[in-house]
Amino acid sequence: MAAAIPAKVRRPPRAPIPLRKGSGGSHIIPDTATEPDMPRPDKETRAAAKARIAELKKTRDQAHEEAEKAKATADEVMWKAIAAELDTGEALQLDAAEATDFSRDHVAKRTKQYRTTQD
């Protein structure tokens, strides 16, 4: 007869990964022999880096503001043009809603201020 196979085969335990004390287990301790600690920058270097980062943030914020203004302008142009189309009587709010994938109610609300005739 064949030899019986044990019901459960035990594997040897894995070696634990060393973790930094108090890290909550999310950071692995660097191997200082191959990865020495990075030197800390002096105050002047840090201040210059912070100034560069602040300038980058300022540039980003300005670009976002310009993009928001451009978006608002494009929206206004579109809703004025849709309102003009609706005022000619050649299109219905339903047509504008289907063409733009907005609800009919949304089209009515956004074009109301630009309409010369109210439906």
Contact of 111 with 79, CB cutoff 8 Å: yes
pLDDT at residue number 41: 87
In tens, the pLDDT along 85-103 reads: 999 999 999 999 999 999 9
pLDDT at 116 over 90: no
Domain boundaries, the chain: 43-114
pLDDT at residue number 21: 59
The 10 Å CB-count burial string (b at 16+, else e) for 65-104 is: eeeeeeeeeeeeeebeebbebbbeeeeebeebbeeeebee
pLDDT at residue number 53: 97
In tens, the pLDDT along 5-37 reads: 666 766 777 776 666 555 555 556 655 666 667
In tens, the pLDDT along 31-88 reads: 566 666 778 889 999 999 999 999 999 999 999 999 999 999 999 999 999 999 999 9
pLDDT at residue number 79: 96
Tell me how crowded residue 118 is: count the other CB atoms within 10 A of its CB.
9
By CB neighbour count within 10 A (0-12 exposed, 13-18 middle, 19+ buried), where does 111 fall?
buried
Q: How far apart are CA 33 and CA 31, in angstroms?
A: 5
Reference 85, options 100, 70, 105, 69; nearest CA is 100
